[in-house]
Amino acid sequence: MTPRRGQTSAIALVVTGLACQEVGASLAVLLFPQVGPLGMVMLRLAFSAIVLLLIARPSVRGHSRAGWTAVVAFGLVLAVMNGLFYLALQRLPLGVTVTIEVLGPLVLSIVAARRASAWVWAAVAFAGVLALGGGGWDRLDPLGVLFALGAAASWAFYILASARVGREFPRLDGLALAMTVGALVSLPFGIASAGSALLRPEILALGAAVAVLSSTIPYAFELIALRRLAASAFAILMSLAPATAALAGWLLLGQTLAWLEILGIGLVIVASIGAVRSSQRAAREAAEPIG
pLDDT at 82: 93
Tell me the H-state helices in the chain: 3-56, 65-89, 94-113, 118-132, 142-168, 173-194, 201-211, 217-225, 231-238, 241-253, 259-287
DSSP classification of residue 136: -
pLDDT at 185: 95
pLDDT at 287: 55
pLDDT at 6: 62
Distances from the Cα of 244 to the Cα of 4, 68, 151, 173, 252, angstroms: 24, 35, 18, 30, 12
pLDDT at 218: 84
**pLDDT digits 0-9 by tens, 198-233:** 989 999 999 999 999 988 888 778 767 766 776 666
Identify the sign of the CA torsion 261, 28, 210, 252.
Answer: negative
Scored b (16 or more CB within 10 A) or e, 21-54 reads bbbbbbbbbebbebbbbbbbbbbbbbbbbbbbbe
pLDDT at 142: 87
Q: Using alpha carbons only, what angle is made at residue 29 by residues 26 and 34, rounded to the nearest 5 degrees? A: 140
Contact 226, 234 (CB under 8 A): yes
**pLDDT digits 0-9 by tens, 166-194:** 777 777 788 889 999 999 999 999 999 99
How far apart, in whole angstroms, are the C-alpha atoms of residue 245 and residue 260? 16
Taking 50 as the pLDDT cut, the residues of the chain under it are 291
